[in-house]
Structure 1
Amino acid sequence: MRSTRVQTVACQLLPVSSEDDGLRTWHPDQVLTYLGAPVETPYACVLLNRPVSGREEQALRLWNGASLRVAVDGGTNVLRALVQSEDARKQPRPALPDVITGDFDSITEETRHFFEQCEFVHTPDQDETDFTKALRVVAERAGGVRWVMAVVDTSGRLDQIMANVNTLFTAARLLSVPVFQVACDSLSWLLAAGRHVIRLPAELRRSWCSLVPVGGPATDVSTSGLQWNLAGDDMRFGQLISTSNRPVADTVTVTTSHPLLFSMEIP
């Protein structure tokens, strides 16, 4: 019965399904729309202030395929550059954002004028990052979206990278759908406490993946399908974390007492 339900969910293009016994099954290939699979299920795309040089086609497919598009402060400058690039004629033109949010300390006046026909939502609260505040906007407008894809950066300022990871924890309180972070070479999301199955087609069984207990210690962590599996191990900073691991099967399983950040290489 379990395998039958998983197959049905895959046909509906859902990135994660939950079984009656608490098992969660993840299909990361279904959130990477640029892999070529048709996307019929609505999702939201949040564009942060990060470079997309060399990944323009992938970023545009993620952006244009979304049913709700949110440009966040300086990310709107990135979108404007994509619209005005010389290569814009060679690929689908970027869709306009449904809403532009942030404290607006990074967006330029030229960009604000360029997108003046779009809706702007000022979120000045400095107790939260623009990314977190953007997810609050998504929560208000999400409708039937089934996941959120955030285009982020995993190089450059370490504080911003850690703030983005922190937002994944906050997102669990703001939204009832999963939030994925896609960077130039990686896809990341939180595995909550419990049991997980991650389905990895051949194009996603690449050179590395990781399991990191970012939010605090995780105990009794067990895995299968990895080159270096865990067997009831405790994970915490200063002791054991799992980086530079790699998937060796089309199914990876993870059981954990507390949330783990799962990251993997993407094409």
Structure 2
Amino acid sequence: MSEIIVQTHTFLTLLGGGSTHFSHVKQALKIAPILVAADGGADTALAAGHMPDAVIGDMDSISDAARAQIDENHLHYIAEQDSTDFDKCLRSIDAPAILAVGFSGGRLDHQLAACTSLVKFPDKRVVMLSEEDLCFLSPLELALDLPTGTRISLYPMAELRGAGTGLRYPIDGLTMSPSTFVGTSNEVAGPVRLRFESRAMLVILPRDCLDVVLAAIT
């Protein structure tokens, strides 16, 4: 079992090294004021004017300049190379919810790996924020009250079935998987009430749905 490095009863912002606007970091910190950087995310934090409470990773991306500005007691080096820095952070953080910024911009392989991390750590309540969207791993039962017409996408990370109400295109009776049938570009048609047989469904919504999502998953 991995050691818990950061434990808090407050929502936490986890900042990666991917491209992101400083305004997005500021928005996340208003909701989740504890700031942890994943390796090179420390450079982004400092450039945005924020000192991270902790930096976690294999430290192959953080610059020497950033390292020199941060108290060495706040640098947590995890040497193994069998997991991503996002993985290392998620298994080392205990928080009611984590807003992950800087993990879904830039390189596509990094984005795909981040989506896999959401499924690998189902006990962590993580909302991954991008420029336009947010993404999270659905609980087995999910209730969302969103305006009619809101774009909602369901992306299965494994074969599974689900059911529910409130979608323009119902998913009842469908077997979904990343290689056969996915549920992208659906729309909200009423109160969304969904059930899934396993924890492998990613939900993607517009970024402005963040407050509703946090209320639903916490």
TM-score by length of 2: 0.82
Tell which structure's C-alpha radius of gyration is larger: 1
Q: CA RMSD in A?
A: 2.1
8 Å contact from structure 1 (residues 45, 63) kept in 2: yes
Q: 1:165 aligns with which of 115, 118, 122?
A: 115
8 Å contact from structure 1 (residues 48, 74) kept in 2: yes
TM-score by length of 1: 0.68
8 Å contact from structure 2 (residues 135, 202) kept in 1: yes
Cα–Cα, structure 1 residues 76 and 237, in superposed 2: closer, same or farther, change >3 Å? same
Corresponding residue number in structure 1 for 2:144: 198
Cα–Cα, structure 1 residues 64 and 107, in superposed 2: closer, same or farther, change >3 Å? farther
C-alpha distance in structure 2 between counterparts of 1:231 and 1:161, whole Å: 29
Corresponding residue number in structure 1 for 2:192: 252
Corresponding residue number in structure 1 for 2:44: 78
**Helix, strand or coil for the counterpart of 2:48?**
helix
C-alpha distance in structure 1 between counterparts of 2:33 and 2:104, whole Å: 25
Deviates more, 1:222-231 or 1:63-72: 63-72
**Does residue 135 of structure 2 align to residue 188 of structure 1?**
yes
Q: 1:218 aligns with which of 137, 142, 160?
A: 160
C-alpha distance in structure 2 between counterparts of 1:154 and 1:65, whole Å: 19
Q: Runs of 5+ in structure 2 lacking a partner?
A: 1-8, 209-218
Shift of 1:159: 1.7
What is the identity, as a one-letter code, of the residue corresponding to 1:253?
R
Q: 1:1-267 alignment to 2 at 5 Å?
A: 42-53=10-21, 56-83=22-49, 94=50, 96-116=51-71, 119-139=74-94, 145-172=95-122, 175=123, 177-192=124-139, 194-200=140-146, 202=147, 207-214=150-157, 216-219=158-161, 221-249=162-190, 251-258=191-198, 259-267=200-208
Shift of 1:79: 1.1
C-alpha distance in structure 2 between counterparts of 1:135 and 1:206, whole Å: 33
The structure 1 segments of at least 4 consecutive aligned residues displaced by more than 6 Å after TM superposition are: none
8 Å contact from structure 1 (residues 227, 245) kept in 2: yes
Shift of 1:243: 0.7
C-alpha distance in structure 1 between counterparts of 2:193 and 2:47, whole Å: 41
Shift of 1:206: 6.3
Q: Percent of pairs identical after alignment?
A: 24
